[in-house]
Chain A
Amino acid sequence: MQEATFMILTALAAGSQHGYGIITDVQAISAGRVQLKAGTLYAALERLRADRLIVVDREEIVDSRLRRYYRLTPAGGEVLAAEAARLEANARVAMSRLKPAAGAVT
């Protein structure tokens, strides 16, 4: 899974959000590291919708602009959980190997 996709699913895991809300949320939860552009976001949303990992939650008009809110489906939640578990396991192995072996230092 690409990082952008992972971050979009993570943003939606807390509740439904519209496009610009996803961009600002992803920026916040990645501490500014991941800055989604509109083209990237909508290509990912389109794919996630086709794969039924997200659905349109509702639409609102704010200041005469369309806001379409997306939310995770149960399948989307499962895919995100599986990916998060995989990343966590990888990170744990990496950290354990980087640490000096316990008891090796005298």
Chain B
Amino acid sequence: MSDSPDLERRYRQLLACYPRAFRREHEQEIVAVLMAGADEDQQRPGLGEAANLIKYALWMRLGLSRGGIMINDRTFSISIDRPSRSLMTVFGAGRKAPRITMSPSTVEVRMGWAFQATIPREAIASARSLNRGERVALSV
């Protein structure tokens, strides 16, 4: 059990990774749980605790928590590294509106006029973040 404002602030920073709707509903009670589980003189979230929060935040953002809060019917843009851009244009997967659309059952990836993939959500075995959360890798 801890009352440290610093620790609480750091926990809230981690919880900022979660979707807003989930945070509105659960942030207060999760902070209470985290503070109750913390050591009295603890100042920083434990590594395991922090990794666990980030993992499930990512899960929820990707809609992998079945039946939970899902990102549905939303479209995200994809950015392509500058060096790859010209090459991908040649292959028809270039700049023209590359995007990811999440629906309740699929994740659809479209790049340029030639590349399109529809991945059923149940085919996604896991998702992990690369580059400190700036990119996401899906294992199918």
Contacts and interface: CB of A to CB of B under 8 A. Distances in A.
A67 B56 contact: no
B56 A66 contact: no
Please classify the interface of chain A as helix (H, G, I), strand (E, B), loop, or mixed, using the class held by over half of its residues.
helix
Of B33, B35, B66, B68, most A-chain CB atoms within 10 Å: B33
A13 to B, nearest CB: 20
Interface residues on B, range: 20 to 34
Interface residues on A, range: 10 to 19
Contact of B65 (A38, A46, A66, A67): A46
Please classify the interface of chain B as helix (H, G, I), strand (E, B), loop, or mixed, using the class held by over half of its residues.
helix
Interface string B77-99: 00000000000000000000000
B69 A46 contact: yes
Contact of A66 (B28, B55, B57): B28
A23 B38 CA distance: 13
List the 8 shortest-distance A-B pairs measured between CB atoms, nearest first: A50-B67, A65-B32, A39-B56, A39-B52, A37-B52, A66-B28, A19-B33, A46-B68
